[in-house]
Amino acid sequence: MSSALIDGQRHPAIVILDFGSQYSELIARRVRENNVYSVMTRYTTSAKEILLLNPKGIILSGGPNSVYEQGAPICDPDIWNLGIPVLGVCYGMQVMVQQLGGTVAVAKQAEYGKAPLEVDDSTDLLVNVAQGSTVWMSHGDTGKKLPEGFVRLAHTNNTPDAAIANHQRRLYGVQFHPEVIHSLYGMVILSNFVHHICGCEADWTTEVFIEEAMDQIRTQVGTKRVLLALSGGVDSSTLAFLLHKTIRNQLTCMFIDQGFMRKGEPEFLMDFFDRKFNLKVQYINARERFIEKLRGIFDPEEKRRIIGTEFIRVFEEESKLLGPFDYLAQGTLYPDVIESAGTNLDPKTGERVAVKIKSHHNVGGLPKDLQFKLVEPLRRLFKDEVRRVGRSLGLPEEIVCRHPFPGPGLAIRILGEVTSSNLNILRDADLIVREEIKQAGLYNEVWQAFAVLLPVRSVGVMGDKRTYAFPIVLRCVSSEDGMTADWSRLPYDLLESISNRIVNEVKGVNRVVLDITSKPPGTIEWE
Ligand code: XMP
């Protein structure tokens, strides 16, 4: 069973059946941008299971397969008889056509990219969609014969049936991708579907989420005690505020200082949560332990593993001292839920693919077999929704808009062995990067901006004296979700002041270089 089904939520939803398209998650987000709740689940989810999700409509996503191939993914045929509106997108439309008795075949000409959409019928799905507006196509197959009861709503030069409908049964299909930004009226089409055709209210708002989440937390934990490992990122901070608002003193927050935080961060966090908001945080100073464990360790994966293991050890020891606790709160978000429900499908086998590139997500995280029950109130939210909730609960912009920061912290931004003196150098350089980017008004424009310390030395000259010191790499990227990224084109003036300040103010550094690698092939972090 998909984990979406064991979510415990019954808010009316648009259910997205994922056929493995790279845009599936985007559909879920676009629906929510219409203030309509959406859940995403595997295409194998049965009609019965879908009903448990309180569906108001169903969207079939795109996917990489050809529906006429043997073993191609299709959905439970009972879905067509639920009486619930269905919208098939790209491959999803082909599934609809094929399963309902039409035919799909290789298109005369594959169509990738932008195409003008000629609307033939603008009664329901295409209301308010301008004639000739651009849509985004990405398909090699096309519907050849429509199933009985279906009519054409729109066409493009290459695709006679670019949008189709069976008005009576409220079944719709679009060959293009309304969810991508290049489809100019894509949001209008999705809004027509969710609001007018499915009758969804615009009731998925931050306030509604907070109310529902507070109810759920109360029901789940009752009068029991809850432990939260606070990192200072937006997820765990929002979670802390939400839990504090709901269960007050039943909550204990623990902040483990590994010694790899940015300059001033531990102090800021303690000051902010504990003193300003009276949200009790147990500060655990574990700096010595961590640096000791990393002595003589050069391999990146080894560093990550040691930090991860040590984190768990400290966490277990300290929670015993502070406990007992019945629940552990975790800032799991919806993309994690989707990922663990297995939606990355292999185009050939339809099976989930997971490729380990770096052992991230277990580092700074906790193992699954801890003796706690989990409270995960944010598991229904995307990152931008978490930010809105955080804001609404009173978190300052400084935390809400914070750049992502990896669990192992600065330790994976010092290549090779981590020492106290290297950490101090990196902290000072990193602070300058942040200050300058903020000063230039670009902090919120970039996904991450940080410094990396390389363990090599080069020759320089300062005030007539020869220097032999470390270089700092400036890494600054734009990204949607961290999965892919491009290096940011920062203004030369800004680069100049960052470089000048680092070389002048940070002892031990005599050179600043710029990383201009995208991801892939590079990764965002250097280790
Ligand atoms: P990479 O380096 O793989 O990073 O391109 C992608 C995103 O993930 C962050 N990152 C981590 N986050 N624990 C985390 O919570 C980790 O161990 C970790 N490693 C990388 C990285 O900062 C970027 O945003």
Residues 237, 193, single domain; the answer is: no
List residues with catalytic annotation: 90, 177, 179
Residues 453, 488, single domain; the answer is: yes
358 CA closest ligand 1 atom index: 3
Residues 507, 378, single domain; the answer is: no
User: In this structure, what CATH number is given to the domain that contains residue 430?
Assistant: 3.30.300.10
405 CA closest ligand 1 atom index: 22
523 CA closest ligand 1 atom index: 5
The finding on whether 280 has its CB within 6 A of some atom of ligand 1 is no
CA of 329 to the centre of ligand 1 (A): 21
Determine, yes or no, domain membership for 523. Answer: no
Q: How confident is the prediction along the chain (527 residues), in pLDDT tens digits per residue? A: 333 333 555 799 999 999 999 889 899 999 999 999 999 999 999 999 999 999 999 999 999 999 999 999 999 999 999 999 999 999 999 999 999 999 998 888 888 889 999 999 999 999 999 999 999 998 888 888 999 999 999 999 989 999 999 999 999 999 999 999 899 999 999 999 999 999 999 999 999 999 999 999 999 999 999 999 999 999 999 999 999 999 999 999 999 999 999 999 999 999 999 888 889 899 999 999 999 999 999 999 999 999 999 998 999 999 999 989 999 999 988 888 776 654 444 444 444 333 334 444 444 566 666 678 889 999 989 899 999 999 999 999 989 999 999 999 999 999 999 999 999 999 999 999 999 999 999 999 999 999 999 999 999 999 889 999 999 999 999 998 888 899 999 999 999 999 999 999 999 999 999 999 999 999 999 99
Determine, yes or no, domain membership for 510. Answer: yes
| pLDDT of 363 | 43
Residue partners of 53: CB distance under 8 A and separation at least 6 = 4, 5, 10, 13, 15, 39, 41
Last residue of a domain, one of 159, 177, 197: 197
| pLDDT of 1 | 33
Residues 364, 480, single domain; the answer is: no
**Distance in angstroms (rounded) separating the CA atoms of residues 170 and 82:** 11
Q: Which of 301, 306, 336, 360 to mutate to test the pocket of ligand 1 (most atoms within 8 A of CB)?
A: 360
The full DSSP string for 239-284 is HHHHHHHHHGGGEEEEEEE-S-SPTTHHHHHIIIIIIIS---EEEE
**Distance in angstroms (rounded) separating the CA atoms of residues 310 and 304:** 10
Shortest-distance Cα residue to atom 3 of ligand 1: 523
The finding on whether 525 has its CB within 6 A of some atom of ligand 1 is yes
CA of 16 to the centre of ligand 1 (A): 28
| pLDDT of 343 | 44
* Residue of 403, 306, 282, 288 lying closest to 364 (CA atoms): 306
Residues 171, 313, single domain; the answer is: no
- CA dihedral (326, 331, 335, 338) in degrees, to 10, reads 0
**Distance in angstroms (rounded) separating the CA atoms of residues 448 and 438:** 12
Enumerate the known binding-site residues. Answer: 231-237
Residues 45, 181, single domain; the answer is: yes
The finding on whether 305 has its CB within 6 A of some atom of ligand 1 is no
408 CA closest ligand 1 atom index: 17
Phi, psi dihedrals of residue 321, rounded to the nearest 5°: -65, -40
Overall number of domains in the chain: 3
Shortest-distance Cα residue to atom 11 of ligand 1: 406
Enumerate the known binding-site residues for ATP. Answer: 231-237
Q: Which of 258, 359, 525, 527 to mutate to test the pocket of ligand 1 (most atoms within 8 A of CB)?
A: 525
**Distance in angstroms (rounded) separating the CA atoms of residues 491 and 475:** 14
**Distance in angstroms (rounded) separating the CA atoms of residues 174 and 412:** 45
CA of 144 to the centre of ligand 1 (A): 45
448 CA closest ligand 1 atom index: 24
Residue partners of 64: CB distance under 8 A and separation at least 6 = 20, 21, 91, 345, 347
Strands 103-119 and 151-155: antiparallel
CA of 305 to the centre of ligand 1 (A): 14
Residues 180, 235, single domain; the answer is: no
The finding on whether 407 has its CB within 6 A of some atom of ligand 1 is yes
| pLDDT of 340 | 64
Residues 271, 392, single domain; the answer is: yes
| pLDDT of 345 | 44
Determine, yes or no, domain membership for 274. Answer: yes
Domain hosting residue 369, numbered range = 206-400
Determine, yes or no, domain membership for 406. Answer: no
Residues 320, 376, single domain; the answer is: yes
233 CA closest ligand 1 atom index: 15
CB atoms within 10 A of CB 106: 12
- CA distances, 202 to each of 32, 38, 61 (Å): 9, 12, 22
Determine, yes or no, domain membership for 284. Answer: yes
The finding on whether 263 has its CB within 6 A of some atom of ligand 1 is no
Determine, yes or no, domain membership for 522. Answer: no
3-class DSSP state of 367: coil
Determine, yes or no, domain membership for 151. Answer: yes
Residues 40, 134, single domain; the answer is: yes
Residues 176, 59, single domain; the answer is: yes
Give the angle 121-123-124 at the CA atoms, nearest 5°: 120
Beta carbons of 391 and 399 less than 8 angstroms apart: no
Last residue of a domain, one of 164, 197, 230: 197
CA of 1 to the centre of ligand 1 (A): 29
The finding on whether 364 has its CB within 6 A of some atom of ligand 1 is yes
- CA dihedral (79, 84, 89, 93) in degrees, to 10, reads 50
Shortest-distance Cα residue to atom 20 of ligand 1: 406
User: In this structure, what CATH number is given to the domain that contains residue 300?
Assistant: 3.40.50.620
* Residue of 418, 415, 327 lying closest to 366 (CA atoms): 327
The finding on whether 519 has its CB within 6 A of some atom of ligand 1 is yes
The finding on whether 524 has its CB within 6 A of some atom of ligand 1 is yes
Shortest-distance Cα residue to atom 12 of ligand 1: 406
Residues 151, 241, single domain; the answer is: no
Determine, yes or no, domain membership for 407. Answer: no
| pLDDT of 9 | 57
The finding on whether 408 has its CB within 6 A of some atom of ligand 1 is yes
**Distance in angstroms (rounded) separating the CA atoms of residues 328 and 321:** 15
CA of 403 to the centre of ligand 1 (A): 11
* H/E element, 514: strand 509-514
Structure tokens at 314: 């400290």
| pLDDT of 354 | 36
The finding on whether 523 has its CB within 6 A of some atom of ligand 1 is yes
Last residue of a domain, one of 350, 368, 400: 400
The finding on whether 406 has its CB within 6 A of some atom of ligand 1 is yes
- CA dihedral (342, 344, 347, 348) in degrees, to 10, reads -40
